[in-house]
Structure 1
Amino acid sequence: MSEHAEGQQHPIGLYFKVWGLLFVLSTLSYLVDYFQFQGYLRWSLILLFMFLKAGLIIAVFMHFAWEPVTLKIALFLPILAILVFIYFIAVEADYTYLNRLIYSLGEP
């Protein structure tokens, strides 16, 4: 009996609250399309709701909120490095594209 009681126990109400919040966030995400928001507002809201839902799922349902700090750093550091790398690639792509435009306009 004591073998089963060793793990972390979380109240079921926490899971129901998070599930309800996920439902609300999904409804808000749907309403972005329903009210036909356009442009940066649309994509900003969609990404915001997506990140909030993913964060809640990872933190609560995957029990990430109760992990030690060292594990969190070990998991988030590579993600941060990838995001920085993507930023550098985007800057380099813009630089290359602009150079191609400048030098292609100078040729006959």
Structure 2
Amino acid sequence: MKHEIPGSEASLVHEGQHHPISLYLKVWGYLFVLSAMSYMVDYMHVQGIVRWTLIILFMLLKAGLILSIFMHLARERLSLIYAILVPPLVLLVLVRIMTIEADYAFWTRAIFMGGGG
């Protein structure tokens, strides 16, 4: 007969991981506020790079909340978190490198070939 310490990993396996309902309500509230702020960016007619920066920031914050709480990623092992989060971050870095390269190719064509667009 095994004696398990309440709150230990072994007891969590048997009991399951349960979050209090107040945590879910807080996260839903945060998601609502972040969505409202995202809509306010359009409502206030914010334009240019500021608009896209704010929209992407709010999107990433909402995705982080959903991943950590609703998908229970906050309690996972670090290796699993890295396996889920690192590939999209690497893709973002590669996309950024491609945009720098595209700008370079565009301006090189415009300067040396007399056109570009």
TM-score by length of 2: 0.77
Q: 1:80 to 1:49 in 2, by over 3 A?
A: closer
Aligned pair count? 103
1:96 equivalent in alignment to 2:97: no
Inter-partner Cα distance in structure 2 for 1:63 and 1:102:
52
Partner of 2:53: 44
Deviation at 1:81, TM superposition (A): 2.1
Q: 1:65 to 1:25 in 2, by over 3 A?
A: same
Q: Secondary structure at the match of 2:15?
A: coil
Inter-partner Cα distance in structure 1 for 2:80 and 2:72:
12
Deviation at 1:32, TM superposition (A): 1.6
Deviation at 1:6, TM superposition (A): 2.9
Inter-partner Cα distance in structure 1 for 2:38 and 2:90:
29
Inter-partner Cα distance in structure 2 for 1:42 and 1:84:
20
Consecutive unaligned residues of structure 2, counting only runs of 5 or more, are 1-12
1:70 equivalent in alignment to 2:45: no
1:79 maps to which of 76, 81, 88: 88
1:35 maps to which of 44, 50, 55: 44
Consecutive unaligned residues of structure 1, counting only runs of 5 or more, are none
1:6 equivalent in alignment to 2:15: yes
Inter-partner Cα distance in structure 2 for 1:50 and 1:13:
23
Q: 1:81 to 1:40 in 2, by over 3 A?
A: closer
Partner of 2:4: none
Q: Secondary structure at the match of 1:105?
A: coil
